[in-house]
């Protein structure tokens, strides 16, 4: 686990974006942890999450020309990432979509830079892949090319079949998925934390039931 990944997990826990307990997922599973990027809801949080995303993107080496943040959580995430990238000398355009088309002013469903070239999709987690699928359709219908997906946390658990939700996206769309951290890193972090060690057995049991080995 890299220092950046460890720092991200620690920060997410401090901000209560990553919480432990009992939570029902979209798949109807009872999960012992939950990640809600919507709780990165102040200036410091957005500054730091943008930096964590930017570092993961640059480490990956993925080639892209712009970012796309699907409504709604992807909007602020994409904005924070391009600011972080600009501070490192990479001035990248970004765009996001409206849930409903605007029928006045500039109209349309896309806000920001025109969708063109290689477009990197921003999201927090991938559960059923619905947001990614919609984003791919939006980007492709604009004549641009989806370049990949970047997420905060890869839960490394099964999607519809034997593959994880992330693996399903990679297989179905032929896109790389970059993550800042994954469940394996979270478990390693808990192993090192006396204060949080009590949560490890439940998460390990959940992984044994629904997890995949790696992506």
Which residues are designated catalytic?
102, 104
Dihedral sign, Cα of residue 152, residue 28, residue 173, residue 170: positive
DSSP structural state of residue 195: T
Question: Of 88, 160, 171, 84, which is closest to residue 122 (Cα–Cα)?
Answer: 84
Cα dihedral 198→199→201→204 (10° resolution): -150
Neighbours of 91 (CB within 10 A): 9
């Amino acid at each position: 686990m890299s220092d950046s990944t460890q720092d991200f997990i620690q920060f997410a826990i401090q901000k209560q974006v990553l919480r432990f307990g009992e939570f029902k997922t979209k798949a109807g599973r009872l999960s012992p942890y939950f990640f809600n990027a919507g709780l990165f809801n102040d200036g410091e949080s957005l500054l730091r999450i943008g930096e964590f995303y930017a570092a993961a993107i640059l480490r990956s080496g993925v080639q892209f020309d712009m970012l796309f943040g699907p409504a709604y959580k992807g909007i602020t995430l994409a904005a924070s990432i391009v600011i972080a990238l600009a501070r490192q000398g990479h001035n990248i355009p970004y765009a996001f979509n409206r849930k409903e088309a605007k029928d006045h002013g500039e109209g349309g469903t896309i806000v920001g830079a025109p969708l063109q070239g290689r477009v990197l999709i921003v999201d927090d987690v991938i559960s059923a892949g619905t947001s990614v699928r919609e984003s791919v359709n939006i980007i492709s219908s604009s004549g641009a090319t989806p370049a990949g997906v970047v997420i905060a946390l890869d839960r490394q658990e099964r999607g519809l079949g034997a593959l994880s939700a992330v693996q399903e996206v990679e297989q179905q769309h032929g896109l790389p998925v970059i993550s800042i951290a994954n469940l394996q890193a979270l478990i390693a972090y808990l192993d090192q934390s006396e204060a949080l060690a009590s949560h490890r057995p439940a998460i390990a049991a959940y992984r044994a039931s629904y997890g995949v080995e790696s992506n």
